[in-house]
Structure 1
């Protein structure tokens, strides 16, 4: 698996669940139910500090693991995305090896 961080566009359902991802000019569609969890951010290593009494989302990141196919066809690929709820920004943080070979 490749680890990095790169901006991606994500189209979501009304409930906020990802449906499609645009990465490097290509559209990937979900092929399975996505999995969501939260991870602790390394706030102690960052220059930006949380303001006093700030609420949820300051310490944890929303992470999604998606099983996708390029344009709804082709081999199944795994992408992990981080979603910053306050800004709506999505970052690709991990990619399965098969997806990396196809984008090279």
Structure 2
């Protein structure tokens, strides 16, 4: 997987599921969550805990991180 580390927009469905990813001016429909986990963060570096998702979004397989503060970022994509 290729590291990206960029802030992205993620829109949820009315039911609260991951629905759409906006990255580099393009929208990707999220077809499914392949894996999900909770990362505690490296507390000694001041990292906050976050939820992580590996998703299929169109032709992308992307690892998304959602911080407890509400921000989303794209950690990695499959290359």
Mark yes or no: TM-score above 0.5.
yes
Structure 1 residue runs of 4+, over 4 Å off? none
- The whole-number CA distance in structure 2 between the counterparts of 1:68 and 1:4 is 15
Number of residue equivalences? 78
Q: Map of 1:6-21 to 2, 5 A cutoff?
A: 6-21=6-21
- The whole-number CA distance in structure 1 between the counterparts of 2:37 and 2:13 is 17
1:2 maps to: 2
Select the structure of larger CA radius of gyration: 1
Task: State whether structure 2 residue 71 is matched by structure 1 residue 93.
Answer: no
Task: State whether structure 2 residue 66 is matched by structure 1 residue 66.
Answer: no
Which has the larger helix fraction? 1
2:66 maps to: 83
TM-score w.r.t. length of structure 2: 0.83
Any unmatched runs of 5+ in structure 2? none
1:72 maps to: none
TM-score w.r.t. length of structure 1: 0.65
Give per-residue Cα distances to partners, 1:24-67, cap 9 Å, x unaligned: 00000122x21321112011123x7xxxxxxxxx5x31001110
Aligned CA distance change for structure 1 residues 44 and 79 (closer, same or farther; 3 Å): same
Any unmatched runs of 5+ in structure 1? 49-57, 70-75, 98-104
Which has the larger strand fraction? 2
